[in-house]
Structure 1
């Protein structure tokens, strides 16, 4: 998930440099959403791993 966020961030940076502001804005929003979702999933797995097995 975080790797996809990094890919979209790179796409946004390249599109921003080339002047494609619409594509850059969309790609940066997607990167931000994927980053947040990836962090939430990582935290859930971290908390679930701390519980004792039944």
Structure 2
């Protein structure tokens, strides 16, 4: 999932450089959503990994 976040961030930066405002905004919002999902999943796996079953 982190890979997809990085891909969308790069697409947003490239689209922003070339002046495609709508495309850059769309890919940036997708990258933000994927980033926060990644952070939540990372924290959940970190917490569950510390518990002993």
TM-score range (shorter-chain normalised) is over 0.9
Whole-Å separation in 1 of the counterparts to 2:21 and 2:2: 23
RMSD of aligned Cα (Å): 0.6
User: Structure 1 length normalisation: TM-score?
Assistant: 0.93
- The structure that has the greater radius of gyration is 1
User: Structure 2 length normalisation: TM-score?
Assistant: 0.95
Aligned to 1:16: 16
Where does the alignment leave 5 or more consecutive residues of structure 2 unmatched? none
1:13 counterpart SS class = helix
Aligned to 1:36: 36
Q: How many residues end up aligned between the 2 structures?
A: 53
